[in-house]
């Protein structure tokens, strides 16, 4: 068994595949982070991300997979699920070692698992598109804090850039400490520092004076349209899981 350590990037993953084939490694274990193992008789390799090697592996994958297949692999990697890096390596190796396209071969455990992970990501993406609540800041821009289970922020770009093209906005992932900023022309990834008072999920000091009014209006609308006699908590939670409630003004 050879344990490989990489930096967690997609380019790093592809570089790892290059190393596996270059050294003809049969049994491997992939981990993110520093090169460390407590196993006495286990080989270990620290993978240094190399864009040239990564590009060669990607070019090879493009001959084996469709553009949609490449995108699905990338989305599965973005999920950042623990202990799933070996699944991605298994998927890639299966693609390279097969004579035919393997994207619909759900009898293979790696193909099936990648499909499941992509499903998780797409469901979380749709939930974020539905549950993001912007709040107006003093500079005229709009801010929303999110805390998705998976790293779906890059997948939200197209939807919000199209829907809110006429206003500046920031969507900030407080779990991963980075955000997406739109300046009326382009979007870019940003990181911000917050004071102990104004944390990422509560930037009250930066709100406009009328933001509280708007939030109260929204809460009143939500309460007025609610019919107690038709309350169905189980159905409500199924459509809006409780982990999202703290980011919804109508639930605060």
pLDDT tens per residue across span 36-63: 655 555 688 899 999 999 999 999 999 9
Identify whether residues 11 and 66 lie together within a single domain.
yes
pLDDT at 108 over 50: yes
Identify whether residues 165 and 241 lie together within a single domain.
yes
Q: Is the pTM of this model over 0.85?
A: no
Identify whether residues 78 and 23 lie together within a single domain.
yes
Question: Rounded to whole angstroms, what are the CA distances from 179 to 10, 65, 174, 175, 247?
Answer: 19, 31, 8, 10, 16
Identify whether residues 89 and 6 lie together within a single domain.
yes
**Residue 195, SS3 per DSSP:** coil
Identify whether residues 15 and 100 lie together within a single domain.
yes
What was the pLDDT predicted at 230? 56
Identify whether residues 52 and 88 lie together within a single domain.
yes
Identify whether residues 98 and 64 lie together within a single domain.
yes
Number of H helices, E strands in the chain: 8, 8
CA distance 203 to 190: 16
- What are the tens digits of pLDDT across the range 169-208? 999 998 998 999 999 999 999 987 765 545 555 554 455 4
Identify whether residues 247 and 155 lie together within a single domain.
yes
- Mean pLDDT of the 204-216 span: 47
State the residue for tokens 């199209």.
162
Identify whether residues 111 and 183 lie together within a single domain.
no
User: Which ranges of the chain would DSSP assign to H, the alpha helix?
Assistant: 10-22, 51-64, 67-78, 85-97, 109-131, 157-163, 211-225, 233-239
pLDDT at 24 over 70: yes
Domain that holds residue 177: 132-251
Identify whether residues 166 and 68 lie together within a single domain.
no
CA distance 75 to 125: 11
Overall size of the chain counted in residues = 252
Q: Are the C-beta atoms of 133 and 98 separated by less than 8 Å?
A: no
- End position of a domain, from candidates 88, 123, 158: 123
- What are the tens digits of pLDDT across the range 155-169? 999 999 999 999 999
Beta-sheet pairing, 28-32 with 187-190: unpaired
What domain count does the chain have?
Answer: 2
């Amino acid at each position: 068994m050879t344990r490989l350590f990489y930096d967690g990037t997609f380019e790093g993953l592809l570089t790892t595949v290059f190393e596996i084939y270059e050294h003809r490694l049969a049994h491997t274990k992939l981990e993110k982070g520093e090169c460390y193992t407590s196993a006495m008789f286990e080989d270990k390799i620290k993978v240094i991300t190399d864009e040239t090697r990564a590009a060669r592996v990607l070019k090879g994958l493009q001959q084996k997979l469709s553009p949609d297949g490449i995108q699905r692999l990338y989305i599965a990697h973005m999920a950042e699920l623990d202990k799933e890096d070996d699944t991605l390596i298994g998927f890639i190796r299966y693609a390279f070692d097969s004579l035919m396209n393997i994207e619909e071969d759900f009898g293979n455990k790696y193909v099936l698992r990648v499909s499941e992970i992509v499903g998780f990501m797409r469901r979380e993406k749709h939930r974020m598109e539905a549950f993001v609540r912007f709040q107006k800041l003093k500079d005229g821009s709009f801010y929303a804090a999110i805390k998705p289970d998976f790293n779906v922020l890059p997948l939200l770009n197209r939807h919000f850039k199209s829907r809110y093209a006429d206003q500046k906005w920031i969507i900030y992932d407080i779990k991963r400490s980075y955000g997406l900023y739109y300046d009326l022309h382009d979007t870019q990834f940003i990181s911000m520092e917050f004071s102990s008072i104004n944390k990422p999920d509560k930037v009250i000091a930066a709100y406009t004076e009328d933001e509280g009014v708007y939030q109260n209006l929204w809460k009143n609308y939500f309460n007025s349209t609610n019919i107690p006699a038709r309350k169905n908590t189980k159905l409500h939670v199924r459509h809006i899981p409780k982990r999202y409630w703290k980011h919804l003004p109508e639930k605060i």
